[in-house]
């Protein structure tokens, strides 16, 4: 299995631009998580999907952030408009069943907003 | 919200020595997990220990859980340079969300 796949691996954009991060979870996994990691705030959970349905989005910072999971094999995290404080590494993780099981992380997308 | 806190924040040792990291949390848990993160990579799951377990082993790793003290420790025996990484604990909350939340991590450097 290829593991969790994220694209792009690196993204550099200018303030105000729309950014879309993509994730393909491991086949057969029911749960998907989006995290943001910064030196200041550590690893923060943004949103959690179970069976393609958003279960907990309380970590989404503000309305500029949105996430979708149109099917079991694909999810997107969109930031519109982007701001310099959104610069971080964004991780997607998937889990076989339920939030309390082992999570498998993707390699992350390093986002820089100028 | 429930969040494990690792201690120490940073640890520097020589190859062959043992490394011990601790995690403390505030409320009752169902499970506690340890993850490793190499620089520039995603997190990798190491061990999951359930609230009714006291100790688990995996290769050179030993995890203990003391629910009365709300703490866990991760011991890496006979450390290697390749163990250099950040180590995170993730805790859920038995009285609330099952979603694990991560601490800030312990940065371990093993000198060859």
pLDDT higher at B93 or B14: B14
Residue B40 makes CB contacts below 8 A (sequence gap 6+) with: none
- pLDDT tens by residue, B74-106: 999 999 999 999 999 998 876 666 678 888 999
The candidate with the shortest Cα–Cα distance to B57, out of B36, B77, B71, is: B77
Tokens of B19: 């490394």
> Average pLDDT of each block of 10 consecutive residues along chain A (114 residues)?
92 97 96 94 92 91 94 97 97 83 93 98
pLDDT for residue B2: 52
Size of interface A-B (CB pairs under 8 A): 48
Tell if the CB–CB gap between A93 and B43 is shorter than 8 Å.
yes
DSSP string, B28-90: --SEEEEEEE-TTS-EEEEEEEETT--EEEETTEEEEEETTTTEEEEEE-S--GGG-EEEEEE
Q: Contact at 8 Å (CB) between A43 and A111?
A: no
Which residue of B31, B42, B103 is in closest CB contact with A108? B42
- pLDDT tens by residue, A15-29: 999 999 999 999 999
| Three-point CA angle A75, A81, A86, nearest 5° | 75
Please tell me if residue A108 touches chain B, with a CB cutoff of 8 Å: yes
Which residue of A43, A102, A107 is in closest CB contact with B48? A102
Nearest CA in chain B to A33: B99
**Structural Rg of chain B based on CA atoms:** 13
Helices and strands, number each (H, E), in chain A: 0, 11
Residue B89 makes CB contacts below 8 A (sequence gap 6+) with: B4, B6, B23, B25, B32, B33, B34, B35, B72, B74, B102, B103
């Amino acid at each position: 299995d290829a593991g969790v796949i994220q694209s792009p691996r690196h993204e550099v954009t200018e303030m105000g631009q729309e950014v879309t991060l993509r994730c393909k979870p491991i086949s057969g996994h029911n749960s998907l998580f989006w995290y943001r990691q910064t030196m200041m705030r550590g690893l923060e959970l943004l949103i959690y999907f179970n069976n393609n349905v958003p279960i907990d989005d309380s970590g989404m910072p503000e309305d500029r952030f949105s996430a979708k999971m149109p099917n079991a094999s694909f999810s997107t995290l969109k930031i519109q408009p982007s701001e310099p404080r959104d610069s971080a590494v964004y991780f997607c993780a998937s889990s076989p069943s339920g939030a309390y099981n082992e999570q498998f992380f993707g390699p992350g997308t390093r986002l820089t907003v100028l | 919200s429930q969040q494990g806190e690792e201690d120490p924040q940073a640890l520097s040792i020589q190859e062959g020595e043992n490394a011990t990291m601790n995690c403390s949390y505030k409320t009752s848990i169902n499970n506690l997990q340890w993850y490793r993160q190499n620089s520039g990579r995603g997190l990798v799951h190491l061990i999951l220990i359930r609230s009714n377990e006291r100790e688990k082993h995996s290769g050179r790793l030993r995890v203990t859980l003391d629910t009365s003290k709300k703490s866990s420790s991760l011991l890496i025996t006979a450390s290697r340079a390749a163990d250099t990484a950040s180590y995170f604990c993730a805790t859920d909350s038995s009285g609330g969300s099952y979603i694990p939340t991560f601490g800030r991590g312990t940065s371990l450097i093993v000198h060859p």
